[in-house]
Structure formats: structure tokens, C-alpha cells
A and B are shown apart, each in its own frame.
Chain A
Amino acid sequence: MYVAVKGGERAIDNAHGWLAEERRGDPGVAELSLDQIREQLALSVARVMGEGSLYDPDLAALALKQARGDLIEAVFLIRAYRTTLPRFGASLPVDTGEMAIDRRVSATFKDLPGGQILGPTFDYTHRLLDFKLAADGGTPDAAAEAAPDPAPVPHVMEFLDREGLIEAAPDRGEAPRDLTREPLELPADRALRLQALARADEGFTLGLAYSTQRGYARNHAFVGELRIGTVAVEMEIPELGFAIEIGEVTLTECETVNQFKGSKTEPPQFTRGYGLVFGQSERKAIAMALVDRALRWEELGEDNVGAPAQDMEFVLSHGDNIQATGFLEHIKLPHYVDFQSELELIRKLRREAELRIAQEAAE
């Protein structure tokens, strides 16, 4: 006799138990602490904060630990937590011009006020596995350190702006809409697009940006400036009547200088692409700037060449990895009912087709 499958509840509990065991791994190996993850897997932490849209290195480290190192799963944990947080207000815009710089490079000028600062970069490392790390990393010798230079580090764009060589980017004084509190409606303005790109999947953004470099809406990007460092977050407190610093965040900002536009009435000018993400995430920041620039084709009077990176609806609808992975993976959930209805339909169509073939053969 057939007994219908029961016990979904017990199966779930047991699966969760097994998952917890697998997450911990061999108990003979020391457990990871959140401090270790935050300090030694800082770029994973940065990505989880960026795509999770929540700046909290400790929570990101916890999410990474809980997610067994699966970055998208960790982003999901952070996003789900983030939605439950109350909103006390909005900070003032952060001033990246006042950033305490860790790294600042310009690909467009050899030297410039504030200088080129390489900072902690993989750029010129030789990618040779360091087996000393496998044996016993130990503590590296302290890196050489210069005294902090109090001189300001102005944005490269300001130099171009002074000459009128780059398109103006005036503050329109409009409060941007909030992607996480309103449904996305298209077409979306640039502020909203940048919000979406800032939390978009790094791989998706990278692929799109790369496609523009290979000719699918090429826009000749130079990295005018890439800067990484900490900025103060300030908030107006109504009771006080002035803004106070409530914390600081590490940001990566990328400004690109792109091919120019001009017309009979306007002299040619370079155009801008912009990327800004939490933590040290320069691949993402550069990719974001390229995609931002590609999406601006219409306002800059360029042709739509039908490239994916130009297609706002395509980019904004598919860049979110939590939406994407959820919908992709949901096809492993039961679909017996839909499949059954397809089975019946295809059997019926086959029956009729076989009958027809048989009849034709008989004639």
C-alpha cells in the first residue's frame, strides 16, 4: 500500500542540524572567530557590506561565518537583517574630498596635488602562491610609514572642471529616492541607477563593464581617479540644530573620464562615470563607473547600439544577486502540479500525433 510522503517538518529540522555540523567542519580544527574574519578576510567583508547595503564589518563577518563563506548567502543574511532596522533619519552626503586616504591613484595625470598613493594593493604583486602562509604566516614586519600629510587631496575632476573640460555635475538639490523603500519604476534617474549598481552583484557588474570595453557600447573610460579611505558620516540632529559625526565608513570611489561630447553650440567636453562602494572594492567601483557611463547614452545624445550595458531595464532588473539567486534556485522547489499538467498535455498531443501518423500511413 502506498503511503503519501509525510515528515517535511522532521526533514527540515534534521537538514538544519546537518547544516550546522557541516558549517563547523572538523571540530578538531579551531573555530573561526568573527575578529579573524573581519581582520583577515576584509575584502569578503567589504563585498558583503556593499552588496548587503549595510555598513557593519562585525555583522558582515558573522554573516560570512554563518554562510560558510558563501558570499551571496552572506549578503542575503545582511539584507534580511537590514530590512528590520528602524530608520532614524538620513545622514548628510559624505564628502569624499575630505577622505582620510589609504590609496589614491589617477591614470590620467602623472603627478598631481595630493600625489599618487599606492596603498595596500595587489596591483604589482606577482601572483605566486606564498607557501610560507600555508606553513605559518606569522606577523609580517611593519610596513614603512610616512607621516600623514595634512595637505588636502582634491578630486582630479576638479582640475578638469576648472577648465570646463569635463561636463558639469551640479547638485540638483533633489533628495534621491530610496530603492529599498519604493518599488523600482522605470525609467529610473541616475541617482536611483547608481543606488542599484552600488548593491548589484560584483560579477554581473564586472561582466557588463568588460563588455563595454570590448565594444558593446564602448565609452573610452580613463580612471580619472580611484580613491579608498575613510570618511566621516554626519547627521543633523534636530534637537541640536547642527550636524554631528556619528561614525566613519571606508569607501572606494572611482571617477572615470570618458569620451567627449559636443555640439554646434557647446564645445567638446569629457563626460563622467561614477562608482562608489563600501569598503575596499575597487574592481566593483571601476565596473560600476563604466556601467553608469554606458547607461547615460540617452542624456548624452549617443546612439543606442543595443548593447546590454546600455539597457537600463535589463541592467537594473538583473543586477541584484539576491533576487537573481532566489529566482534561479527556486526551480528546485516542488513543481509537481505544473509538471503534471504539462505531462498530461504532452501525452495528449503525442497521442493525437501518433493517431494522425497511423491514419496517414493507412491511407
Chain B
Amino acid sequence: MTDQSYNFAYLDEQTKRMIRRAILKGLAVPGYQVPFASREMPMPYGWGTGGVQVSAAVLTPDDTFKVIDQGADDTTNAVSIRKFFEKTASVATTTHTGEADVIQTRHRIPEEPLTEDQILVYQVPIPEPLRFLEPRETETRKMHALEEYGLMHVRLYEDIARHGHIATAYAYPVRVEGRYVMDPSPIPKFDNPKLESPAIQLFGAGREQRIYALPPYSKVVSLDFEDHPFDPSKAPHPCALCGADDSYLDEIITDDRGGRMFVCSDTDYCTARRDAGHLGEQAQ
């Protein structure tokens, strides 16, 4: 049931138009952070206001919508955002990756490969990959304009010198189409290879007022060095429930004596595998 006191998908048409223009600009300049006049949403900054605004701007009444947080459809904030669009846009919703036209995500890319008919919308906390090297926006915009990315490579090198590895495990920076260095949002680096995708990928940062995008099949390279190639590692276990050894795993603490198990973070992927008869060690 749609709440008639608000426009379709909550935002007014002028605002959605403004956001769509930013999205189109983002698609035209892959990886470039487009400033947009982010609105105050009825959920707090940090809860996915950027993603929600992007989803509101791209959803049509015929779309089927899926929301995940940490890979799961039933985490509280995913539930809350799904309910928001059920109420304000009365779109159909699903938990099945394959059935969704638009997927809004926080911190994960679904395991099931996406298709050309899908849009993946990311919630982004800090869109600027250079932010923790240089806190000033005026400076980082200049650095992007001049392709001055040396500082980032120095940081990665310092990690190797200190720890023997690049000590970035999530929000691992990428270079898009050989031009812009981009923050893929705090997805685990395990997900980075999936950034090269047939789907449209849109990134919304509400508080920071930025939108950026990856058009389908964009070249996305995780930053690395010849002698320290990028390594999308994950926990060296199969999923305890579905037995998958190719999915990203959450670690669950099962007792206070050091007991733990590893299960798929992508709940839809895990359920589908179990329904198809794949069983892990602890499945019954």
C-alpha cells in the first residue's frame, strides 16, 4: 500500500531529476565523484541516505527491489530500507538476487553474478579514496583532477614495508578505466573482482553529497604492485551450512570456549545452495 501523502519513492520529481542528472554524469565519467544536492531523508546520515536517494531516482513502479546489508536481506537496516520503499513506492521486493531489477547494498556484492538488466546501488560512507591521506576536499579534488595518485601508492608501499602485505582489507581502492581512483565503498576486497560487471553500478554518498558510477563492463583494477599483486583473500573455510568454498564468510562465535563457525554472508546464495541440496558440515 502506497502512502499517498508522499510522492512515488518519497522524493519529489524535481529532486529525482536532479539525482538522475548526477547519475548520468557519473556514468559518463566513470569513477568521478559528482556533487549532488543530497536531501535530508527520514533516516539518519550513515544509514544509507545516499543509496536510498539513488534507488528512489532509478526505481520504476514495475521494478522488483532487493536490499542487503552485510550480504543479508534480514539485517535490521536492510529490513528498514526495504519497508521504506514498499511503503513509499509499493514496488515488489524479493530476496532472490536473480529476480531483482534494483539491488541496494551495504558492504557486499552478491555472490550470484549480476546481469545487464540489473542495477546495483551501493551505500557509501566516505566516497573519497584519498580522504585519509588528505582530509581537505579542496585538495583531494585537485589531486583527482591532476591524476596525482602517488600518495596512495606510497601508502600501500608503506603497508608492505611495515607488515609485508597491503593492510587494507575492505574499501580497497581501485582505478577505473585507467583514470579515476575510486573507493568501492567498504566491501571486503574479496568482492573487488566482481566490480567488473555487466550490471550498472551506482554509488550514493548522502552526507558527503556525492554520486559516482561504474557503467557495465568498465575496467576496474585494484591497486597493487607487480611484486605484490592484489589478493582477494577470504577465510580459508567452506560455509558450514551450504559447503560453498567460493563465497565470502561471516565468522559466528558459537560458545564462550573459542567455538566458531563460518557461514556465507550472502544469505540468498546460501539458502539457494541448501535448497539445491548442497550441505555443509553443520547443516541438518
Contacts and interface: CB of A to CB of B under 8 A. Distances in A.
Interface in B46-83: 46-47, 49, 69-71, 74-80, 83
A11 interface: yes
Contact of A334 (B42, B75, B170, B187): B75
Interface in A182-204: 182-187
B169 A341 contact: yes
Contacts of A4: 241, 263, 267, 270
A238 interface: no
B45 A327 contact: yes
Contact of B46 (A317, A333, A349): A333
A95 B42 CA distance: 34
B133 interface: no
Contact of B74 (A7, A338, A349): A7
A8 B78 contact: yes
A330 B123 CA distance: 12
Interface stretch (A21-29, A78-86, A122-130, A224-232): A78-86
A337 B47 contact: no
A344 B70 CA distance: 16
Contact of A2 (B41, B235, B263): B263
Contacts of B170: 337-338, 341-342
B190 interface: yes
B234 interface: yes
B249 interface: yes
Interface residues of B, number: 65
Given A313-B136, A337-B188, A6 B37 contact: no
Contacts of A341: 169-170, 188-190
Interface string B101-134: 0000001100000000000000001000000000
Contact of A82 (B40, B45, B47, B234): B40
A341 B172 CA distance: 11
B137 A313 contact: yes
A330 B188 contact: no
A328 B39 CA distance: 19
B264 to A, nearest CB: 9
Contacts of B36: 183
A82 B170 CA distance: 36
Contacts of A185: 35
Contacts of A299: none
A9 interface: yes
Interface in A333-363: 333-338, 340-345, 348-349, 352
B265 interface: yes
B5 to A, nearest CB: 9
B1 interface: no
Contacts of A340: 188, 235, 248-251, 265
Interface string A149-188: 0000000000000000000000000000000111111110
Nearest to B44: A326
B41 A80 contact: yes
Nearest to B18: A181
A323 interface: yes
Contact of B138 (A76, A186, A344): A186
A323 B187 contact: no
Contacts of B12: 84, 86
Interface string B86-110: 0000000000000000000001100
Interface stretch (B159-167, B174-182, B195-203, B222-230): B159-167
Interface of A: 1-2, 4-9, 11-12, 76, 79-80, 82-84, 86, 180-187, 313, 317, 322-323, 325-331, 333-338, 340-345, 348-349, 352
Given A1-B282, A337-B188, 20 more contacts: A2-B240, A2-B241, A2-B254, A2-B261, A2-B282, A4-B263, A76-B40, A80-B42, A83-B39, A83-B40, A326-B44, A326-B49, A330-B46, A334-B77, A336-B70, A337-B70, A337-B170, A340-B188, A340-B251, A344-B233
13 contacts: A2-B261, A80-B42, A313-B136, A325-B44, A329-B46, A331-B46, A333-B69, A334-B69, A336-B70, A340-B251, A345-B167, A345-B169, A349-B163
Q: Which 8 residue pairs are nearest across A and B when measured between Cβ atoms?
A: A330-B46, A326-B45, A341-B169, A326-B44, A183-B35, A341-B188, A183-B209, A326-B46
